Amino acid sequence: MKTIVALVGRPNVGKSTLFNRLCGKKQAIVIDEPGATRDRNYASCTWHDKPFTLIDTGGFEPAPTEKILLQMKEQTLVAIEEADLIIFLMDVQQGIRPADEEIAQMLRSTGKHVFYAVNKVDGPRHENMAYEFHKLGLPQIHTISAQHGVGVDDLMDEVALLLTEEKEEQDETVSETIKIAVIGKPNVGKSSLINKILGYERTIVNNIPGTTRDAIDTPFTLQGRPYLLMDTAGIRRKNRISLVLEKFSVVQAMKALDRCDVALHLIDAQDGITEQDAKIAGLALEKGVATILLVNKWDLLEKDNSTVGKYVKNIKEQLKFFDFAPILFISAETGQRIQRIFKIIDEIRAESTKRITTGELNRAMSAFIKKNPPPQGVLRESPLHYVTQAAIKPPTFIFFVSNPANIHFSYERYLINRLREAFSLHHTPIRIFFRKKQRDRKKN
């Protein structure tokens, strides 16, 4: 399980700037105006090869008078409750504010490990000003400039000491229990599907989006095979969220995808593929999770002989990056085609955990290259030397080549498609990487 790190502090102290620096990309809105970040922002990050989930919060005012500040405070409290580690950011140029004192006191009462950082320290004058913050009685204060990166490495090196290391052997271990995450936007029928599978009212079902606040794990056995169902809160567009805890659904879905073998991504048949569906599918693909697209509420749609074909075509057009994912039309309410789900689960889980010997891979690769040689440029020898499988869940392959820069994206797609055909990896994500052959490195 990835460590969750939350950035907290008053509005406009530089949390989003630090968030963007740690993510390596501009994901949070950064403007010089209090409250610019109103919703929590999430990202998967790494530091010293240790993965963690970073949460950017909107800002914490202990006694807010405006509605938006009250909502931001509630969001921050939720993030603090879920976080494993907390970075409390203050502004050296504004000095100590009463809100800083209250936040520091509140964080001490959580019993969690808190890193205290004074931001916007852009020179010696600001360094001297930072001494004022020792009045808060904090154990250690990091002086940083999130904008220029000063002091950030030292802060994160301290944080990294408490991050959970990702164990490589997890990729090589195939548990007997198949873990299934049920994901999708709110009100798409996730809880109804789980209840239908289990045969009883395991979770509350109603028409209010966001009923499921947290992941709920339910073990069960089907035809002698053990499974674990993970229900997650729905993911929805941020500008349409009204319930504070509902916003936390993104983290819950990320955590479920980190733990699962297979994801069931529910899509509302009446809504079709929405922008949010595409984002959820992208999240599953990013994490390499074998996923089944379940078009739910199919019984409510008026159909003719061409409806299924048109719907499948539309899905593949809207989710081109996910065109390998199997599609099943179901009704969680009536139970239509529910039993077929587990046949597909078993099949794609077997694909995602398949191991292929180096000999088999290289014999197949020789045939791939012979049929469609890669562009060689000035190289006299083939730029592809050999291939080996590096991991499962998803199947991951490393191609050792003369020059990785010469491999075009279109040829990468060609290799992925040939791997699917040759080794029956039709419905699982596949990752391939190109590495410079060791012998060639020594020559250069």
DSSP 381-436: S-SEEEEEEEETTTTEEEEEES-GGG--HHHHHHHHHHHHHHHT--SS--EEEEEE
Q: What is the pLDDT of residues 234-243, one digit of tens each?
A: 544 444 444 4
Q: What angle, 0 to 180 degrees and rounded to 10, lies between the N-to-C axes of helices 152-160 and 15-23?
A: 70
Which residues touch 69 (CB under 8 Å, ≥6 apart)?
11, 35, 59, 61
Q: What pLDDT does 43 receive?
A: 77
Same domain for 107 and 154, yes or no, is yes
What does pLDDT average to over the chain?
A: 82
231 and 88, same structural domain? no
* Mode of pairing for the β-strands spanning 396-401 and 384-391: antiparallel
In whole angstroms, what is the distance from residue 317 CA to residue 336 CA?
Answer: 25
Rounded CA-CA distance 299/341 in Å is 17
Tokens, residue 296: 């739910």
Residues 86/4, Cβ–Cβ less than 8 Å: no
Q: What pLDDT is stored for residue 338 in this prediction?
A: 94
Quote the strand ranges of 97-247, DSSP E.
113-119, 141-143, 178-183, 216-222, 225-231
Question: Tokens representing 440?
Answer: 């060639």
Would you tell me how many other CB atoms lie within 10 Å of the CB of residue 110? 12
Tell me the angle at which helices 275-286 and 249-259 cross, rounded to the nearest 10 degrees.
40
151 and 7 in a single domain? The answer is yes
Q: Which residues contact 53 (CB under 8 A, 6 or more apart)?
A: 2, 3, 4, 5, 42, 43, 44, 45, 251, 254, 255
Number of domains the chain is built from = 3
Same domain, 322 and 388: no
Asked if 340 contacts 399 with a C-beta cutoff of 8 angstroms, the reply is: no
CATH code at 373?
Answer: 3.30.300.20
Residue type, 50: K
> What are 257-290's pLDDT values in tens digits?
888 999 999 999 999 998 888 888 988 998 999 9
Same domain, 437 and 320: no
The per-residue pLDDT for 330 is 97
Per-residue pLDDT for 165 more than 90?
Answer: no
% of the chain with per-residue pLDDT over 90: 44
Q: Which of 352, 379, 409 is the last residue of a domain?
A: 352
Interatomic CA distance for residues 422 and 320, integer angstroms: 22
Same domain, yes or no: 271 and 398: no
| 14 Rama sector, left if φ>0, alpha if ψ -120 to 50, beta otherwise | left
Could you tell me the CATH number of the domain that includes residue 69?
3.40.50.300
Q: Do residues 43 and 151 share a domain?
A: yes
The continuous run of DSSP H or E covering 89 comes out as: strand 85-91
Residue with tokens 């984002």: 279
Burial of 220 (C-beta count, 10 Å sphere; 0-12/13-18/19+): middle
Rg of the Cα trace of the chain?
Answer: 25
Shared domain check, 155 and 10: yes
Question: Which of 371, 356, 353 is closest to 423 using CA atoms?
Answer: 356
Q: Clarify whether residues 313 and 366 are in a common domain.
A: no
Interaxial angle between packed helices 358-371 and 409-423, expressed in degrees from 0 to 180 and rounded to the nearest 10: 120
34 and 151: one domain? Answer: yes
Same domain, yes or no, for 7 and 62? yes
Q: Where does the pLDDT of residue 384 fall: very low under 50, low under 70, confident under 90, or very high at 90 and above? A: confident
* Percent above pLDDT 70 for the chain: 79
319 DSSP 8-state letter: T
Domain end, chosen from 160, 186, 220, is at 160
CA distance 245 to 171: 32
- Of 73, 160, 150, whose CA–CA distance to 113 is shortest? 160
Return the pLDDT at 373: 79
Query: Confidence class of residue 124 from pLDDT cuts 50, 70 and 90?
Result: confident
* Mean pLDDT of the region 326-350: 95
Nearest to 230 by CA among 267, 270, 197, 275: 197
CA dist 424 and 418 (Å) reads 10
On whether both 269 and 311 belong to a single domain, the answer is yes
Residue-number span of the structural domain to which 272 is assigned: 169-352
Q: pLDDT of 3-41, one tens digit each?
A: 889 999 988 899 989 998 998 765 444 444 444 333 446
Q: What six digits make up the tokens of 312? A: 């499948």
The residue from 142, 160, 178 where one domain ends is 160
Task: Work out the average pLDDT over 190-203.
Answer: 78
